[in-house]
Homo-oligomer: A and B are copies of this chain.
Amino acid sequence: MKLSGGVEWALHCCVVLTAAAEPVPAARLAELHGVSGTYLAKQLQSLSRAGLVHSVQGKAGGYVLTRSPEEITVLEVVEAVEGPQSTFVCTEIRQRGPMATPPSACTAPCAIARTMFEADKAWRAALRQVSVADLGRMVGTDYEGDVLGQVGKWLSRPS
């Protein structure tokens, strides 16, 4: 099980969008992070479909966060890119084979599925507790100088 690499990119983009006062094009975000612009665009489209960012077209267009960074959780970003489905999918193999459990007794998920779903729930809960604004504050305390502010200025400056 490996998380898609786009998740990391999307999270970084959300954090830097916090520092931007104007729409930022996908190509510019890609240049900032040194990653493929066309593929990053794909991730941003996912964020747009999920309603986390708003896309404005035209010459001075780009992406803007739709809500306050305080109101965007990391979980929302992850689910926007990875999809909301659980990490564990139950095949119901208990209903197969010679000792199959009759479907009438399978109204609730089996013990294994319940355990895996609980773990999945804990994972999502941990991601829900952190907001994009929290991430920005962490970055602020991690390094000397106003890194996020610098990035915001770089985004505004024409290349």
Interface positions, chain A 100-134, Cβ under 8 Å from B, are 100-101, 105, 108, 110-112, 114-116, 118-127, 130
Complex contact B12–A96 (CB within 8 A): no
Complex contact A123–B112 (CB within 8 A): no
Q: Report the Cα distance A37→B110, complex, angstroms.
A: 22
Q: Mark A131-145, 1 if CB is under 8 A from B, else 0.
A: 000010011001100
Q: Report the Cα distance A41→B2, complex, angstroms.
A: 23
A15 at the interface (CB under 8 A from B): yes
The smallest C-beta distance from A156 to any residue of chain B, in angstroms, reads 13
Of B3, B12, B99, B125, the residue contacting A93 (CB under 8 A) is B12
Complex contact A143–B87 (CB within 8 A): no
Q: Report the Cα distance A70→B143, complex, angstroms.
A: 46
10 A-B pairs besides A5-B89, A12-B93, A34-B96 with CB distance below 8 A are: A1-B1, A2-B85, A98-B154, A99-B150, A99-B154, A108-B142, A111-B139, A115-B130, A122-B125, A123-B123
6 sampled A-B residue pairs with Cβ under 8 A: A2-B89, A3-B116, A34-B100, A110-B142, A114-B138, A122-B125
Binding site for B on A (CB under 8 A): 1-5, 7-9, 11-12, 15, 31-35, 74, 82, 85, 87-91, 93-94, 96-101, 105, 108, 110-112, 114-116, 118-127, 130, 135, 138-139, 142-143, 147, 150-151, 154
